[in-house]
A and B are shown apart, each in its own frame.
Chain A
Amino acid sequence: MELIYDQSREGRRAITLDALDVPEAALPRDLLRTEAAGLPEVSELDVVRHFTRLSQLNFGIDSHFYPLGSCTMKYNPKIAEAVAALPGFAELHPHLSSDEALWAHCQGAFEVVYEVEELLAEIAGMKAVCLQPIAGAHGELAGTLLMAAYHRDKGHTHKKKIIIPDSAHGTNPASAAIAGFDIVEIPSTPDGAIDFDAYTAAMDDTVAGVMTTCPNTHGLFEPRILEIAALAHKHDALLYYDGANLNAIMGECRPGDLGFDVMHYNVHKTFATPHGMGGPGCGPVGVSERLVPYLPGPRVARREGRFVLETPPRSIGRMAPFFGNFMMAVRGYAYIRHLGNEGLKDVSRVAVLNANYIHARLKHAYTPAFAGRFMHECIFTAAAQAQKGARALDIAKALLDEGYHAPTVYFPLTVKESIMIEPTETESKETLDAFCDAMLRIATRIEEDPMAFRNSPTTMPVGRLDEVKAARDLNCVC
């Protein structure tokens, strides 16, 4: 592919300046470049064509099916974009919230913050929510800092450990470690659930908290979650809910009712706001009653029909400037209000149905990683194919040539040659069938020739990338 530098012609310009009508002044010598800036010399049309062409190479949810397991790449409805583009939101300066005298000008924005927090609390059965954290892992950090603040306040100096199952997102142990805790990892059973015996053995009064995802990262609902919660509470350990998979259970069960004390939401996943390539995210933190006094602040409160800012009495402080990624919350608000109670239930039901449909169609060609009923994503192991010579990576690359984004591979770490497929609720049966047909074609071809996809993809703008070199050789040289 031609780089914009390849199109550079000496003296070509995208802009023409008007004739100079002021006295010419020399720039100070020490501010002058000693060598050329190395910018391409191109016309405006060159620039437009180059970047339009690049944009057409994008692979996104608006153009393609994107079954990236764990990431929940669902369609982002355009109504949310329309709402976020309203001038009252889009042109609002965040510093209006910094001066009490100006709060009259941001009552609408405050109301959205207040209402999103209330809606999220209701959806997950939490007492209160704070919008500040700007991503899932940032929400985890807020949550683990809240756990630390709670135990510090209670004088629980002996509580230093956080129990985390080996199926957790890698960010869970990282967040807990940054919050100052020691991590105790516990294994999963062959069924993909938390090993309850190992959990019981690890639990004692030095445990400050337990972090779990439910459905877990194996795509399975934790069958003994109530017992896990009860045992944690017996030892005054707080139960953390990683909301990454909340999209599987909306309207069916609520983390708060299961006994979770603190959680984060992935608004950018569950409530369909654009994400990928690192953001922007929105990872609000929700808490049960006993953690409310420690929430990050300031928070929006309603006093005598007016929205004001208040900081909770024992607040852990700010987690982000202003209200986090507020515009993501606006989009989430539009999504939640547009769908309503029944709509959100349908989101989860269809997400689970779609994942199980794919599971049913593929289970004879690829080995399911677990025997149980999957929730919103299904996981296969390509171990059998890998033994013949076609690894999960090759299957993922082959899918690119079929016109699909690759599923998540090699995660969760507990599954060998893992292929993790999350179709989400927004795809039609026709799309799911076409994807399954492609997966089955690939499986058949591997039977005939396991090495068939060793150099895939072959129809993309670039071929097989050297992932090892990319990770090892960090010194990029132009």
Chain B
Amino acid sequence: MFPDNLKYTEDHEWVREEGGACTVGITAFAAEQLGDVTYVELPEVGAAFKKGDEAATVESVKAASDVYAPVAGHVIETNAELEARPELVNESPYDKGWFFKLDDFDPAQLRGLMNAAAYAKFVEEQGH
């Protein structure tokens, strides 16, 4: 149900490690709960986050939610395409709908996140 190559947080972010950086987005489950996404506010490139800092905001017809930094790091790139096409978060949450990329992260923090099976169980236990 959730891609095996990603790590997950209890706040429904996913993280993909590639080429020494972490790409961050929100899960298909989160996108479905939000409904049609209408606006995404992304961090500035160069911003430094601690794990759990508010890093982005995502708005839908139903609600506005914060997206948190799953691991500490520096923002090296953001997905500018979301500005014009926020619907990518719903249509392609793990690919074209990514939010931002972090470097200078701590691999131990990344290892501490849930794998796909644990996240699926977490979602199940939340009573959804």
The interface of chain A, by Cβ under 8 A from chain B, is 170, 410, 413, 416, 467-468, 471-472
Contacts and interface: CB of A to CB of B under 8 A. Distances in A.
10 contacts: A410-B62, A413-B63, A467-B36, A467-B61, A468-B61, A471-B36, A471-B39, A471-B59, A472-B38, A472-B39
Interface string B43-66: 000000000000000010111100
B13 interface: no
Contacts of B128: 416
A442 B64 CA distance: 30
Nearest to B33: A416
Give 10 nearest A-B pairs by CB, closest first.
A471-B38, A468-B36, A410-B62, A472-B38, A467-B61, A413-B63, A471-B61, A468-B61, A472-B86, A468-B38
Q: Which of A170, A413, A467, A472 has the most CB of B within 10 A?
A: A472
A187 to B, nearest CB: 12
Interface of B: 36, 38-39, 59, 61-64, 86-87, 128
Contacts of B39: 471-472
A476 to B, nearest CB: 15
A472 to B, nearest CB: 5
Contact of A472 (B62, B63, B64, B87): B87
Between B38, B59, B64, the greatest number of chain A beta carbons within 10 A of the residue's beta carbon is seen for B38
B50 to A, nearest CB: 14
Contacts of A468: 36, 38, 61, 87
Contacts, number: 21
Contacts of B87: 468, 472
B19 to A, nearest CB: 32
Contacts of B62: 410, 413
B86 to A, nearest CB: 6
B63 A410 contact: yes
A190 to B, nearest CB: 9
A449 B61 CA distance: 25
B127 to A, nearest CB: 9
A410 B63 CA distance: 8
Given A468-B87, A471-B38, A471-B61, 7 more contacts: A410-B62, A413-B63, A416-B128, A467-B36, A467-B61, A472-B38, A472-B86
Nearest to B59: A471
Nearest to A170: B64
B77 to A, nearest CB: 23
Contacts of A467: 36, 61
A231 B64 CA distance: 31
A170 B64 CA distance: 10
B41 to A, nearest CB: 14
A343 B38 CA distance: 46
A188 to B, nearest CB: 13
A51 B62 CA distance: 32
A477 B62 CA distance: 25
A467 B61 CA distance: 7
A61 to B, nearest CB: 25
A416 B34 CA distance: 10
A256 B62 CA distance: 34
A170 B39 CA distance: 18
Contacts of B63: 410, 413
A471 B64 CA distance: 12
A410 B61 CA distance: 9
A468 B62 CA distance: 10
A353 B38 CA distance: 39
B72 to A, nearest CB: 19
Nearest to B62: A410
A467 B128 CA distance: 25
Nearest to A185: B66
A170 B62 CA distance: 12
Nearest to B84: A472
Nearest to B85: A472
A472 B60 CA distance: 9
